[in-house]
């Protein structure tokens, strides 16, 4: 088996266009959105003065990456947000009157071996589609792959023959016990996840229920059944909204790291969906969970929420 520290995704494509033309398609947010984002999302991209790249989606601006180095017109290096674990390096070389574009996705060595292994295949497949879309866009042709794959490009998708999952992570400058309380205490969960709704917990134990309490109808909504309680390391719950044989399960795993806590949020249960709905839902959820972890980080560190209206 390949060692984790050598794991990376490398893909390349030749494009019949000058380096300057391809460079603009990579660095200009408006052009980047045309081939990088699935059209079904109806999203746009922007970049601020600090080099942070955002996806504008449904009235929200989701930070997805930050530029680390730019060497025009040859190299671009970016880091995924909010964790900055994975690094994407674009290299452009003149070749046969056109441009060879090479992409290297690295940083999987920071993950455990199983997580890294399950991200490599979808990330590689995603970059093959992305580069073919880039080639078509520069050529002025129709995109060959308009479906969603952005989550795979940033290493957010985990796949095996039996399971499809989204996994996001963030480092929090707080001890595990503090973060554990933020995700398991219903009053604290409400403050960072959905400040305008009331969350209740029947019991912090396997089989317990975490749910939104509707005051007007005195009923339980968005019920989550607890499946794993391992303080302060792992907490998992499944949604009762999905009645299929494969439930939607959200798992938080907390690991000590650099005097703080690395939180992995894994969401599983996409196996029974059609290809079209799976791609779209995984795209949207990958962005949404990233925003949620931004809030969890800010709340656990005693800072102002970046997304004060919750989810």
The pLDDT tens digits along the chain (311 residues) read 344 446 899 999 999 999 999 999 999 999 999 999 888 777 899 999 999 999 887 777 888 999 999 999 999 999 998 888 899 999 999 999 999 999 999 999 888 888 889 999 999 999 999 999 999 999 999 999 988 788 889 889 999 888 899 999 999 999 999 999 999 999 999 999 999 899 999 999 999 999 998 888 888 999 999 999 999 999 999 998 766 677 899 999 999 999 999 999 999 998 888 877 888 888 889 888 988 999 999 999 999 999 888 87
Question: Can you state the angle between helices 275-300 and 186-193, rounded to 10 degrees?
Answer: 110
Report the C-alpha gap between 274 and 270 in whole angstroms.
9
Report the C-alpha gap between 3 and 228 in whole angstroms.
30
pLDDT at 110: 84
Q: Which of left, alpha, beta for 34 (phi over 0: left; psi -120 to 50: alpha)?
A: alpha
Q: Is the previous residue joined to 232 through a cis bond, with omega within 30 degrees of 0?
A: yes
- Backbone phi, psi, residue 255, to 5°: -125, 140
Domains belonging to the chain, first-starting first, are 8-150 (3.30.530.20), 164-300 (3.30.530.20)
pLDDT at 13: 98
Residue 64's alpha-carbon distances to 45, 299, 309, in angstroms, are: 10, 20, 19
Q: Which of left, alpha, beta for 259 (phi over 0: left; psi -120 to 50: alpha)?
A: left
Report the C-alpha gap between 171 and 77 in whole angstroms.
21
Length of the chain: 311
- Spatial neighbors of 161 by CB under 8 A, at least 6 apart, are none
pTM assigned to the model:
0.85
- Structure-token pair, residue 267: 């969401």
pLDDT at 5: 46
Q: In sequence order, what DSSP letters do the residues of 155-195 get, joined into one string? A: T-EEE-SS-EEEEEEEEESS-HHHHHHHHHSHHHHHHHH-T
Report the C-alpha gap between 282 and 166 in whole angstroms.
7
- Spatial neighbors of 208 by CB under 8 A, at least 6 apart, are 201, 202, 225, 226, 229
- Structure-token pair, residue 241: 């909204």
């Amino acid at each position: 088996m390949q060692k984790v520290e050598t794991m990376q995704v490398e893909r390349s494509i030749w494009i019949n266009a000058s380096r300057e033309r391809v460079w603009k398609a990579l660095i200009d947010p408006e052009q980047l959105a045309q081939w990088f984002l699935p059209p079904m999302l109806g999203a746009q991209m922007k970049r601020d003065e600090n080099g942070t790249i955002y996806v504008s989606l449904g009235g929200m601006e989701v930070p997805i990456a930050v530029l680390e180095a730019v060497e025009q017109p040859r190299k671009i290096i970016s880091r995924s947000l909010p964790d900055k674990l994975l690094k994407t390096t674009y290299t452009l070389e003149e070749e046969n009157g056109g441009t060879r574009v090479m992409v290297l996705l690295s940083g999987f060595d920071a993950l455990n071996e199983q997580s890294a292994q399950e991200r490599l295949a979808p990330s590689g497949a995603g970059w093959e589609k992305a580069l073919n879309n880039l080639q078509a866009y520069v050529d002025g042709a129709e995109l060959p792959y308009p479906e969603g794959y952005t989550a795979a490009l940033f290493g957010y998708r985990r796949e095996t023959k039996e399971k499809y999952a989204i996994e996001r992570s963030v480092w929090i400058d707080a001890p595990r016990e503090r973060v554990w309380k933020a995700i398991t205490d219903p009053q604290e969960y409400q403050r960072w996840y959905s400040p305008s709704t009331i969350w209740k917990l029947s019991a912090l134990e396997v089989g317990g229920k975490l749910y939104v309490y509707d005051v007007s109808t005195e009923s339980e909504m968005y019920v989550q059944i607890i499946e794993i309680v391992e303080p302060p390391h792992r907490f998992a719950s499944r949604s009762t909204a999905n009645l299929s044989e494969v439930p939607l399960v959200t798992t938080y795993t907390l690991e000590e790291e650099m005097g703080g806590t690395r939180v992995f949020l894994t969401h599983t249960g996409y196996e029974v969906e059609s290809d079209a709905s799976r791609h779209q839902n995984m795209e949207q959820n990958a962005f949404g969970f990233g925003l949620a972890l931004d809030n969890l980080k800010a709340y656990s560190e005693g800072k102002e929420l970046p997304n004060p209206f919750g989810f």
